[in-house]
Structure 1
Amino acid sequence: MDAPTCPLCGRPIPAEAKQSLHHLVPRLKGGKGGPVVLLHHICHLEIHATLTEAELAARYHTIEALQAHPRLARFIDWVRKRPPGFHSRVPGRRRKR
């Protein structure tokens, strides 16, 4: 069986890698029961380090919109060069809630 692919960065997600489920519309903003995607944990952390729940709900509730965000686009370019199981702390400041 093939490993699932992270829709944000396009790398495979090995079974032993840290992984997370991401609600495309945050649960706190009405996304309970809405679409959920499986991501590398590092990709999920970067999304939440970059965008507020309100921003995610209003403008960044699709993979395409997330990929188009300037900071996330730079992150994706960087992380695509790493092995599929790569994980590290997310650099930079946390976003405001």
Structure 2
Amino acid sequence: MLAKLCSMDSELTSKGKDSVPLCALCGRPIPPDVAQSKHHLVPKLRGGKGGPVVLLHQICHNQIHLELSEADLARQFNTVAALKSHPGLARFITWVAKRPPEFYAVTKGARRRRGRF
């Protein structure tokens, strides 16, 4: 179990002690003082407990949960490539990629907007 946790954490960070990890969604660096979180590719409530996780900026993580329900995440958006292919997230990635790595703004909108493609 410990080996599994260690391997998951090693996937979250770049190589080397002084390197800064990259956000799996937008690709921008995540400085140590910036809000960040781990995203379960398959939601824990949908069978993803102990499954793969990726490190994201908090704003990127919030946007994922704004755009998609947990059922959608479990069924068809359970990889980074699938998340990037979602039209709403693709627009967000294009927008946020122009911001500095420390950029954060409150994510606005109703959570899990149905039918938004």
Q: Give the TM bin, normalised by the shorter chain.
A: over 0.9
Query: Is 2:70 the counterpart of 1:47?
Result: no
Identity fraction in percent:
60
Say what the alpha-carbon RMSD is for the aligned residues. Answer: 1.3
1:40-83, Cα deviation, whole Å (9 max, x unpaired): 00000000000000000000000000000000000000000000
Task: Kindly indicate whether residue 92 of structure 2 is the aligned counterpart of residue 75 of structure 1.
Answer: yes
Q: Supply the AA of the counterpart residue of 2:20.
A: A
SS in 1 for 2:31: coil
Code of the aligned partner of 2:99: R
Query: How many residue pairs are counted as aligned between the two chains?
Result: 97
Distance 1:72 1:91 in 2: 14
Match of 1:18 in 2: 35
How far the C-alpha of 1:7 sits from its partner, in A, is 1.0
Q: What residue ranges of structure 2 are gaps of 5+ in the alignment?
A: 1-17
The one-letter code of the counterpart of 1:81 is K
1:60 aligns with 2:77: yes
Partner Cα separation in structure 1 for residue 109 and residue 91 of structure 2? 13
TM, length-normalised to structure 1: 0.96
Per the TM alignment, residue 95 of structure 1 is displaced from its structure 2 partner at its CA by: 1.0
User: Residues of 2 paired with 1:28 and 1:54: CA distance?
Assistant: 9
Give the 4+ runs in structure 1 shifted more than 2 A. none
Equivalent of residue 52 in structure 2, options 15, 27, 35: 35
Give CA-to-partner distance per residue, 1:18-40, whole Å, 9 cap, x none.
00010000000000000011100
Contiguous gaps of at least 5 residues in structure 1 = none
- The AA in structure 2 aligned to 1:63 is V
